[in-house]
Structure 1
Amino acid sequence: MSLGSISINCPWEDNSPEPLLDICGKYVIAHPETFCVLHQLSGLWFLRPGTALPTELCERLISLWQDINTEALDDRFINIFRDLANTRLKRVTLRNSSVSDDGLGVLLSHNLIELDISNCSKLSERTLNNINKYGDSLLTLVIGKTKDILPSSVSAGAQLEPSTGKDGSPVSELRKREYILRTPNLRKLVVRELIQPKDDGYFVMLLQPLTKLTHLDLSGCFFLHDIKYLLPMKNLVSINLHCAQRIQDTIPVLSEIKTLKFLDVSQANQTYGMFECPDTTLANLVSSLPNLTSLDISGTNLSGDGTFDEYRDSDDKEHQRDVEADLCDIPGLRCRINNPLEFLGLYNTLHDACHRNHIPARVITGDANEEQILAAMEAYLDRPDVLVKALNELFHIFRFETCHDQKRALNLILLAMLRHRREKHIQISGSASLFYIAKTEDKNSLSVRTRQKIIGVLLDAMETHLDDSTMMRNGCLTLCQFRIPQDVLFEYRRLVQLLLRLIKGRDNGDDFVRRIAIYLLNSLACQVDGEQKELVGDLGAIETMLKLISDRLQDDMHDDMLEIAWSAMWNVTDETPINCLRFLNGEGMTYFQKCLKAFPDKPELLRNMMGLLGNVAEVKDLRHRLMTPELLTTFADLLDSNSDGIEVSYNAAGVLSHIASGGPEAWTIDRPTRAEVLERMVAAIERWDLASKRNINYRSFEPILRLLEVYHTPQCQHWAAWALANLTRVYPDKYCSLVEEEGGIQLLQALLASPAPYSRIKILARIVIVQCQHYKEDGSLERMDLDSNT
């Protein structure tokens, strides 16, 4: 509302853990079978027998359901509150839900005291009957823009069944009963953008019976006519007539409502906010309302033309001081110089009133500075057209200036995006500012809950506006500012699904979005455990990457997306046999050979492809599918490659080591021979520099350590020992402890005690053991000056 500052409850501000109630509530909502029973025919949930839920829990479950679900709330969940003996409700917000008349009837039977049904598209005039049936207890009713609840007319021919008057003419049932809402104790009513009724008595019949009203919001309503029907309401303290038709005609009556504290006569279109004598009109209005603390005149000319400057032309300094004591740049508010308003709305007023220096109000909405913009966002959260303008202005502050109250700005951006999920321009503008917030140097100061809220809101926006390339760009670029995958693990499945849809989709023609999506997916697949890698495979990542590779081959195109596709599959197949099988079943080896033939001189591509095949070769049950003359010849030839340093040669030797670890009987082809390949592999290993820096990341050495036990083929041990010696020498902080943790030292000592391995293998084994001993003793290891060809 624009009638003063609202309270913003943002539980994600601090780094305290999420309340246990919310954690449990989210779990049972995601698993309703824990406390409900599903009726198979109707699809409705019923409360499980023996379960009782207190009021606080019932209301929180509805709120949490709307927070964590992208689908609109509907009757299936609401039905659990049919059990009046074991559930309790008093305050319910159904904003933007898909609850039907029947579902709302269930809720109303709880004798609610507060109800918000804004923008509930499935409600009809049947709901009005239910509201009137249970209306005695209602204190707050927010109908908002839900247009079909209230009748379009109260004259003859209205929707309700007509009866006949004394003269034989039809009389509507509404006229007969003389009310629309039977809510005798109602204190607050919000009805917005009601433009259908044209008969003079409509708003009289709607409002006159509501004698206890204190807060009335008729924003955007037409045909209010003479609003004298408000005068008998002796308790009114708040009236909102934003964008109401012919607002000029309402001022005389409003001036007579002496109890008013909050008044909004603002307009979205300046054309409708023009007053003939703006200074006099405003002065008379304000002086007539002694209790007024909040006034919104945005979009009107009531602020005057800003010419109250004559004192500046005086040469008499003493006179200037006297005038300045009574200075007011809005002539109509001079009477409030010594009693400033708590709130004054000046957004989009004529003559840029918000830019003036002397305004008698403590909080002002406008676009003159950060404070005014944030005040506007806070005040106009329910006005999308105004809110998007304020969001754009805030974005410019983030982009070109410095936002001083970033916490407040962040809270308001998130609230705006949460409240208006389907308003595309709000989502785009809000996400643009979130990018700069996430990008700042002090982003690490954001709490875990804050990061999660930002990420959750971004995913909501992206899923809702999937076909808008600007929204996708903003969302992906902002997500890139977080730590991947650590910060997004709580929404891992959801994010992977979204990214795969972006990678597959070509409708928006934005290759940049696809590039950044595949980059994010690759990052998500890295440094996660096997369960999550399996999930990525289950969701179709392998098939999506292979399709992308196929498209690139068809177009004879080598680019970064082709390389990242192979990198993503390399990560997803790491120690994940099921994904290796998916790769093979998807004709992955065919694409490998085609890429090798089409792009033989691309180091990154070769490294990524061979890294992936190394993962496949680690799976014993899949090795036979690599055992073809063509593939083995290719792997052997790649041993001589200098592409990307030693990486391609190293990965080729790794593939061959795992294949050879099956023993001579597993080598089922005649050419190339096993002995020939093993000889070439050893020659390649001996060429590598033991001090080579690596473009590789190991989470576990288990596959390498298994090769240390292959005594029947010492060449396999040779490759494994060299790999461990290189990694512990170049990256001791990262890998020495990993060797010890996974039992590598014992395996190396056993290797040294055995007569089978040849001397070069034992030299490498000793290097690893000594490296790890020094690291353990010193805490940090001074690299040994060992010649790689010792």
Structure 2
Amino acid sequence: MYDKDNPLFISPALLQDSSLDYICENLAILCKTVSYKSLDPFDSGLKLKFKDEQTFIPCEISEKLLLKLSEKRKLDDIVMTLFSSDVTRLKHITLKDASRLSINGLKTLHGHKILELEALGLRKSTVTDLISCLGEWSLQNLKMLNVSNSTFMDTNKFCILVALSKLRNLQTLNVSRTEFSKNSLELVVDDLPNLESLNISCTHVTDISALKKCKDKLKSLSMSGIKVPIEERELVIDIVTELSGLLHLDISDEEDWDPCDALPVGSRFARIQVGLLLRRHTCLPSLQSLDISGTEDINIKDLILFLSCHKIRFLGLVMNEICRDPMFTDSSQPIYFGDKVISGFGNEAQILEMLRRYVDRPTYMTKALYFLFKMTSNTGDNKVDSTVPRVDLIQVDLAAMEGYPQHQQLQKNVLLTIYSYRILQEVEFDRYRCTRLVLDCLCSWYDQHMIRMSVTICSILAAKFSTHETSELGSKENYMRKLLSIVQERTHNSMVDITLKFTLSALWNLTDDSPKPCQVFLNENGMKLYLDVLISFRGELAVETKVLGLFNNIAEVKHLRFYLMDNILIMTLSELLQSSDIEVSYFAAGIVAHLISDNDLIWSKLEITQATMSSYLWRVVNSWRIPNDEMVAYRSFRPFLPLLQLNQEKSVQLWAVWAIHHVTSKNPRRYCKMLASQFVNKVLLDLVRSPSTDIQIANISEQILQTIVENGYLSQHETITGRQVFASC
């Protein structure tokens, strides 16, 4: 069972994605570690293989699996060996997080014929190591290499770039945020004759004179954040304007990039002067994409003339007030350029483009999320229609959240954006991924506003994805520990607030129909803490029902029930059974029913007997009146099957049929199908067919069966066949 305030909504992922996720999370089950002889003293001598020796994964699936493992930060040297060329094929490789890969893991690439290679964030190995691990075919045919945020420095702090010269057919090179320098640029320009696209953003390049050698073939140049000598700023623009074949130019600036260690002592460096370029209205005649974000020296008249002389498709104007100008936001203006793709914060479209385009710039992402929140909360000048579900907003938010886990303000801005009941309840998106990222955020920051938003989001979304996904998240000790610490803090301070309620709800939903999270909860002393909560907040309906709901989840797991055979808990349950609030009484009764049903449990050490509790249970359930609203929601009725057996205690049977009747009468369309698919209707038929069944239990069972018949999941003939006793409805 799970929190009724967060109704279940199944949003199935694509089968292929689900299968790949399963492989990523279950490598220990699907694979085996084998040893091999290695002459390298730094090589572990271990590799990973699929247990099924016949396994072969085609190219597209191999590439997607590798990408997912990288995104989930599970990729290390041993996991990388799983992609040997005899069982996988790789042509287009994307390693979004290569920080845990050394040369031993990268050797796996040698057997593949690679056309495109992205290895971001290399730290345990260098770019030179990466290239040395490529096979001869790959060296001769590689078209694209992206090593952004990686290092060329070896252990002796020498920057080695000669290996790049081997890639003679390389067309696209991204060395942004590396130690790439003027000398490196000269080497690349001389040795890579087919180079068409170059990204040297946030590198140590301070002189771009070498680019004149490829002025006729370079089509894309990105040098965001580059600083040049003040006295050479006009010379830099001269060089840029000679690149007559450019289709894309990025000369934006980044606030969080300061290449101090690259600049000679005593030299004076400054940003590239964008205004000088714009004044040359007719230069770069083929230009289609221009990013001048973060720059201040923009004269609006020069910009208008420049745009009028070019067929610009994209214009970057982030961190510049010009993006708000009516010529970019108001189509009724005589001069209007808003039909182009523009990044900025002048309207929703500009902000979304920021989020899509600048995933590697935390400052830009943080600002974009801030302005997006203002729009979605209707506090800005331009408002987003909050009545229309927006999956695209959520997707870009999650990408930002995943890309920058250590940027608190960015994380907070994402939470603010998705902290909407309508978004969480109605918009279709990857709820599992969202919940995982939010839990990571919760564990990283101690900020009460972020904590409140995080637990609220988790409590709502945890009821909306599969049991397998619930189990995966709930069984992570750091998540469980953090959630319990929030409960402990509130309990210590005797504080019942929305944060406590949603945290209890999140824990309830994460343990629903999931034995592993229940075990982790118990291992983390959750049992003792929850007893303290029941004692500290007696009479608090919202607190008691959520605590008892989680105890119900534990009680449904046979091998964990003995944890609940605690004298204080049992005595507390005997009192809560008598609660005037039917929800509290119902959940307490559910726990008691499961405990009474299990004859392997020992009651002799408790102050109350099994028979006494059974009599309490019978009397209490008989006193209930059917409530107007549905009190609880169930993912499965399988835990009910042992409670409905013919030889079971009648008090246990009574609670079980009452519970089933309650939910089927409130939501027959959902639950009748579930009862039939899990064969609970067969067990109910056994009850009504047996002369030994108590007449009251038979009556309720008969009502459930008739509801199933009315909804088309059972025939009237089946309800009559084999009957010796006919209960009265």
TM band (smaller chain) = 0.7 to 0.9
Hey, what does 1:621 align to over in structure 2?
600
- Among candidates 378, 382, 398, match of residue 360 of structure 2: 382
| Partner Cα separation in structure 1 for residue 374 and residue 404 of structure 2 | 21
| Counterpart pick for 2:559 among 578, 583, 586 | 578
Give the AA of the match of 1:631. I
Deviation for aligned residue 1:240: 0.6
Is the Cα–Cα contact under 8 Å of residues 127 and 149 in structure 1 kept in the other structure?
no
CA distance in 2 between partners of 1:776 and 1:221 (Å): 69
One of 14, 27, 37 as aligned partner of 1:18: 14
The aligned counterpart of 1:502 is: 482
1:479 is the counterpart of 2:458: yes
Checking the alignment, whether the CA contact within 8 Å between 1:28 and 1:35 is kept in structure 2 is no
In the alignment, structure 1 residue 348 sits paired with structure 2 residue 319: yes
1:550·1:591 contact (CA, 8 Å) conserved in 2?
Answer: yes
Query: How much has 1:28 moved relative to structure 2?
Result: 4.5
CA shift for structure 1 position 296: 1.0
Letter in structure 2 aligned against 1:218: I
Instruction: Measure the CA separation in 1 of the matches of 2:707 and 2:486.
Output: 51
Structure 2 unmatched ranges of 5 or more: 1-10, 37-43, 259-268, 329-334, 492-497, 713-729
When residues 726 and 17 of structure 1 are mapped into structure 2, their CA distance, relative to the original with a 3 A threshold, is closer
Q: Which among 234, 249, 261 is matched to residue 247 of structure 2? A: 261
Matched-pair contact (CA < 8 Å) for 1:145–1:192 = yes
Task: Give the direction of change, closer, same or farther, for the CA distance of 1:42–1:28 in structure 2 (3 Å limit).
Answer: same
Greater gyration radius: 1
> For 2:625 and 2:168, how far apart are their aligned partners in 1?
87
8 Å CA contact retained: 1:275, 1:302: no
Match of 1:188 among 144, 161, 172: 172
Match of 1:139 among 131, 138, 143: 143
| C-alpha distance after superposition, 1:93-119 (max 9, x if no partner) | 222121112322331453532221221
Deviation (angstroms), 1:24? 4.8
Find the counterpart in structure 1 of residue 722 from structure 2.
Answer: none
1:565 aligns to 2:547 (yes or no): yes
Give the superposition deviation at 1:63. 1.8
Aligned to 1:225: 207
Tell me, yes or no, if the aligned pair for 1:78 and 1:103 is still in contact at 8 Å. Answer: yes
Residues 212-221 or 596-605, more deviating: 596-605
**1:540 match:** 521
Q: 1:562 to 1:52 in 2, by over 3 A?
A: closer
Matched AA of 1:225? D
- SS in structure 1 at match of 2:313: strand
Rounded Cα–Cα distance in structure 1 between residues aligned with 2:399 and 2:559: 42
Partner of 1:237: 219
Task: Out of 726-735 and 356-365, give the one that drifted further.
Answer: 726-735
Q: Answer whether contact 2:195 2:217 (CA < 8 A) is retained.
A: yes
Which is further off, 542-551 or 505-514? 505-514
Match status 1:122 vs 2:124: yes
In structure 1, which of residues 24, 45, 54 is the aligned counterpart of residue 48 of structure 2? 45
Matches of 1:547 and 1:115 in 2, distance apart?
52
Distance 1:137 1:546, change over 3 A: same
Q: CA deviation at 1:359?
A: 5.0
- Structure 1's 607 and 127: CA in aligned 2 closer, same or farther, altered over 3 A? same
Out of 358, 372, 389, the residue aligned to residue 394 of structure 1 is: 372
Distance 2:480 2:356 in 1: 36
AA paired with 1:458?
A: T
Q: 1 CA distance for matches of 2:206 and 2:318? A: 24
Mapped to 1, the partners of 2:95 and 2:558 lie a distance apart of 47
Counterpart mapping for 1:452-491 below 5 A = 453-463=430-440, 466-470=443-447, 472-482=451-461, 485-491=463-469
Q: Residue 123 of structure 2 aligns to which amino acid in structure 1?
A: S
**Could you tell me which residue of structure 2 aligns to residue 674 of structure 1?**
none
Give the whole-Å Cα distance in 1 for the aligned partners of 2:705 and 2:56.
62
Distance 1:579 1:58 in 2: 40
C-alpha distance 256-352 of structure 1, shift in aligned 2 (>3 A) = same
Aligned counterpart, 1:282:
278
SS where residue 195 of structure 2 aligns? coil
1:274 Cα deviation from its structure 2 partner: 6.8
Please state how far the C-alpha of 1:580 moved relative to its aligned partner.
1.7
CA distance in 1: counterparts of 2:116 and 2:101, whole angstroms: 16
> For 1:377 and 1:355, how far apart are their aligned partners in 2?
22
Pick aligned residue for 2:308 from 330, 333, 337: 337
Percent of pairs identical after alignment? 17
Cα root mean square deviation, aligned: 4.6
CA distance, structure 2, for counterparts of residue 746 and residue 132 of structure 1:
67
Q: Aligned letter for 1:183? A: L
How many Å apart are 1:515 and its aligned residue? 4.2
User: What CA distance in whole angstroms lies between the structure 1 residues aligned with 2:643 and 2:576?
Assistant: 31
Shift of 1:194: 3.8
Of the three residues 185, 200, 209, the one matched with 1:203 is 185
Q: How does 1:339-738 map to 2 (within 5 A)?
A: 339-349=310-320, 354=325, 356-357=327-328, 358=335, 360=337, 362-400=340-378, 401-403=383-385, 406-436=390-420, 439-440=422-423, 444=426, 446=428, 450=429, 453-463=430-440, 466-470=443-447, 472-482=451-461, 485-498=463-476, 499-505=479-485, 515-525=501-511, 528=513, 532=514, 534-541=515-522, 544-552=525-533, 561=543, 564-574=546-556, 576-584=557-565, 588-593=566-571, 608-622=587-601, 624-625=602-603, 630-632=607-609, 653-655=615-617, 688=623, 699=637, 705-706=644-645, 732=665
Structure number with the bigger relative contact order (C-alpha 8 A, sep ≥ 6) is: 2
TM-score when scaled to structure 2?
A: 0.73
**Quick one: distance in 2 between partners of 1:492 and 1:540?**
14
Partners of 1:53 and 1:131 lie apart in 2 by 22
Q: Is the 8 A contact 1:502 1:517 kept in 2?
A: no
Question: Given the two structures, how large is their TM-score scaled by the length of structure 1?
Answer: 0.68
Q: Which residue pairs with 1:741 in the alignment?
A: 681
Offset, 1:480: 3.4
Question: By how many angstroms is 1:420 displaced?
Answer: 3.9
The alpha-carbon deviation at position 350 of structure 1 amounts to 5.4
CA-CA distance at 1:516 after TM superposition: 2.2
Q: Closer, same or farther in 2 for the Cα pair 1:591/1:35, shift >3 Å?
A: closer
For residues 512-555 of structure 1, give each alpha carbon's deviation from its aligned partner in whole angstroms, at most 9, with x where no partner exists.
Answer: 655423212223455x4xxx3x3343333486432213544897
1:196 Cα offset (Å) = 7.7
Instruction: Tell me the secondary structure at the aligned position of residue 141 of structure 1.
Output: strand
Instruction: Tell me the SS of whatever aligns to 2:287.
Output: coil
Aligned to 1:667: none
Per the alignment, in what secondary structure is the counterpart of residue 93 of structure 1?
Answer: strand
CA contact (8 A) 1:391 1:413 kept: yes
For 2:485, the aligned partner's letter is G
Q: CA deviation at 1:76?
A: 0.6
Q: How does 1:97-116 map to 2 (within 5 A)?
A: 97=98, 98-108=100-110, 110-116=112-118
In the TM superposition, residue 204 of structure 1 has moved relative to its aligned partner by: 1.9
What is the identity, as a one-letter code, of the residue corresponding to 1:246? V
> What's the secondary structure of 1:615's corresponding residue?
helix
Shift of 1:374: 1.1
Counterpart CA distance in 1 for 2:252 and 2:475 is 44
1:550-605 per-residue CA deviation (whole Å, 9 max, x = no partner) reads 5448979875546533331133313x332221222xxx223444788999989676
Q: Does the C-alpha gap of structure 1 residues 151 and 339 become closer, same or farther in structure 2, counting only changes over 3 Å?
A: farther
1:116-148 CA-partner distances (Å, limit 9, x unpaired):
122122113651661798533322111211124
Q: Is the 8 A contact 2:67 2:96 kept in 1?
A: no
Name the CA shift for 1:73/1:389 in 2 (closer, same or farther; >3 Å): same
Cα distance, 1:230–1:620 mapped onto 2, change above 3 Å: same
Q: What residue is the counterpart of 2:721 in the other structure?
A: none
Residue deviations 1:44-70, cap 9 Å, x none? Answer: 214776655543343233123224x3x
